[in-house]
Chain A
């Protein structure tokens, strides 16, 4: 123990996190923009049409990264909420709260792009399929988390109650991930996120991986800006704000 935990305590310090988040944001934002632009060109122009789905498969370049974000953000949010709950770390609660809105947005994007992909390929916008239903539950978890927070005036209570909800909702994450294997799902099995070799030629795969990278970096940048806002809102009278804002 001893000094090894110094880094952990620094992450509990609002001034430190506020300053660090500000320094890191551009280092996530610019690589994110470059990755997404390169992936767009690779996915829409360079990648060959799919032998079954023709040009329609290109929806994957927005659908799969959005779905990845929706689940990854939830995992980050629940982890931050758990840290906040266990170590009573306010910054961790602020981080969890910063995740929810972004996660909800990209859950909607994954659902809508999935519907737009499902119509030409499956013949329907929506089926009550395990994967689709679990993803819809994810949206309700995000909305429940946001609603619960806004419904409680006392910030400390809002933090704790919403953290418990976030942690309970973690059950849904493996259900989303393994739904296509546990049940007879209409949704295709993973073609990238699996242990064996991806079932995709390189010209298709590289833009997709770039898009995953770009979306992940984008989330980090946007989340850090929201975290700074959240920290400022929480620090009512701290003297460090005077220094940070001047």
Chain B
């Protein structure tokens, strides 16, 4: 197992590459879901006639 993580000496380059890719994948999911949730909340406020809903 430790041999797998050592990646024959390339661990210091390989795992950070995988980490930043993972971060980008997760971050973009979070950004998209948050954008949709806040746009939805703002749209609902607009429907209620709340002027705050016009500020997105």
Contacts and interface: CB of A to CB of B under 8 A. Distances in A.
Interface of A: 36, 44-45, 49, 54-56, 58-59, 62-63, 66, 101-102, 105-106, 108-109, 112-113, 116-117, 119-120, 218, 222-223, 225-226, 228-230, 232-233, 235-237, 241-242, 245
Nearest to B22: A62
Interface residues of B, number: 32
Contacts of A45: 4
Contacts, number: 98
B16 A116 contact: yes
A225 B36 contact: yes
Q: Which 9 A-B pairs have the closest CB atoms?
A: A56-B10, A229-B35, A232-B39, A225-B32, A55-B8, A62-B21, A229-B39, A229-B36, A113-B17
Contact of A116 (B13, B29, B54): B13
A226 B7 contact: no
Contacts of B33: 225
Given A108-B24, A245-B40, A237 B46 contact: yes
Interface string B1-44: 00010011110011011101100110111011101101110111
Contacts of B38: 229
Nearest to B56: A233
A232 B40 contact: yes
A66 to B, nearest CB: 6
A101 B24 contact: no
Contacts of A222: 28-29, 32
B8 A56 contact: yes
A35 to B, nearest CB: 12
B21 A120 contact: no
Interface centre among B20, B42, B47 (most CB of A within 10 A): B20
Contacts of A228: 36, 39
A232 B16 contact: no
Contacts of A230: 35, 39
21 contacts: A54-B8, A55-B9, A56-B13, A58-B7, A58-B14, A102-B28, A105-B24, A105-B27, A109-B24, A116-B14, A116-B17, A117-B13, A218-B25, A222-B28, A225-B32, A229-B32, A229-B35, A233-B56, A235-B43, A236-B54, A245-B47
B10 to A, nearest CB: 4
